[in-house]
A = this chain, B = another copy of it.
Amino acid sequence: MMKKVGVAILGVGVVGGGTFQTLTEHREFYRQTQNVDIVVESVLDNNRARAMSIGVPEEILASSIAEVVTNPAVDIVVETIGGCGVAKDFILAALNEGKTVVTANKELISKHWHDLERAAKRNSCGLYFEASCVGGVPIIRTLLDGVQANRITHMMGIVNGTTNYILTQMTQSGAEYADALKEAQRLGYAEFDPTADVDGFDATYKLSILSSMAFHTKVPYTKIFREGIREVSSKDIAFGKELGYTLKLLAIGKNTEKGIEVRVHPTFIPSSHPLASVNDSYNAVFLTGDAVEDVMLYGRGAGSLPTSSAVVGDVIFAATHSDIKYSTFKNTATADPKTKFVTNFESAYYIRLLVEDKAGVLAKLTGIFAKYGVSIVEIAQKGEGENGRLPLIIFTHKTAENSVKNVVAKINASDLASVQSVIRVEA
């Protein structure tokens, strides 16, 4: 007889609604291809009218979380509410009743994974969160069961669709940040309050999850250097483009002898790099492992049905596997004291300046770079001057972040030049 598996969905908004649609429309398909009958047995949503409008039958609409988690027909609870409010309590309630949990909640997993996993282990339940990172792209499964033979040394990802849409607009049409943001808001790609996306918080949650898994040690999101895209100027994007670089908000993780280095910031990458052509709301993660070399996964980073593909993928995995794989490291609230984090990281830099047009100024400027051990690759004059000052772009060799900060402070304190922008460059 075919195995029957009951699912409850908590929250049928964008992702939960897509999950309901995918599960119901594909029920017969999963019976045929996965040999399992997956049935939505229960839905919980404050907005009962909305739930019914997307086709949820009234008789499976629950009126409390207790009703959902004590329902013996429910084997798997899908959490698509989001945030760190009731979502956490609901997941813990489900796990404590012995239900396996599938969640799309990056903020919750990044902040409370250890609590949730402890509860899951105690109750011998599964805890799945493929949908928390990079939408429909199976990056979590790949880290667990695809590239697990490797020591992952590098990870670079475009993991936020909103900012990638905005930067793509700025790159392709030369729009300024404020206008591109407005357009993203109009299209529903950006929230009314865009802070979580444009200031890079969303990307740090995802990088925390992905780098913890890739490097087999807890990487709290609070350890991640974070700089958003609010200050990005279309001028720098255009200059970079001319010089062969594309600007992306990258989530970068490195695991080297010096320790773990994790950062989210606007980054120039060579326009020939596979990540450079990941545009609009597409996302991608580029991994380097000691056996596999480079691997990239690319796809929709958000959206109702693409994200439901990841949620339902987890539901099917849980329904068809009895083994449960938890994190591959001691999952605690804070980082392992033995894990070293690199804060004064090294990067190459793009620095745009307005420089006094006088004899000897350039020698003095390059003297400041030399003093702090920052070596220059290229100096280019680009764009229009201002107030008699010349526009200059300097690319540096790989150098320590703190050295560049010192150079910038020294220049700005001088009457030689003023620094207009500083953008990190990755090869």
**Which A residues have a C-beta under 8 Å from some C-beta of B?**
18, 22, 26, 29, 32-35, 135-138, 141-142, 145-151, 216, 272, 274, 277, 282, 289-300, 303, 305-306, 308-313, 315-317, 320-323, 325, 328-329
Contact = CB atoms under 8 A, between A and B. Distances in A.
A306 B292 contact: yes
A33 B216 contact: yes
Given A142-B142, A291-B308, A323-B320, A328 B34 contact: yes
Nearest to A284: B296
Contacts of A274: 277, 298
B148 A316 contact: yes
A33 B138 contact: no
> Nearest 4 A-B pairs (CB), nearest first?
A138-B146, A149-B312, A136-B292, A292-B309
Contact of A291 (B151, B297, B312, B322): B312
- Per assembly, the copies of the chain total 2
Contact of A317 (B33, B145, B310, B329): B145
24 contacts: A22-B149, A26-B149, A26-B151, A33-B328, A35-B328, A138-B142, A141-B141, A142-B142, A145-B145, A145-B317, A146-B313, A147-B309, A148-B316, A149-B308, A149-B312, A150-B309, A291-B309, A291-B312, A295-B298, A296-B296, A296-B297, A321-B321, A322-B322, A322-B323
Contacts of A277: 272, 274, 277
Nearest to A138: B146
A282 B146 CA distance: 18
A253 B135 CA distance: 24
A216 B145 CA distance: 22
Nearest to A289: B309
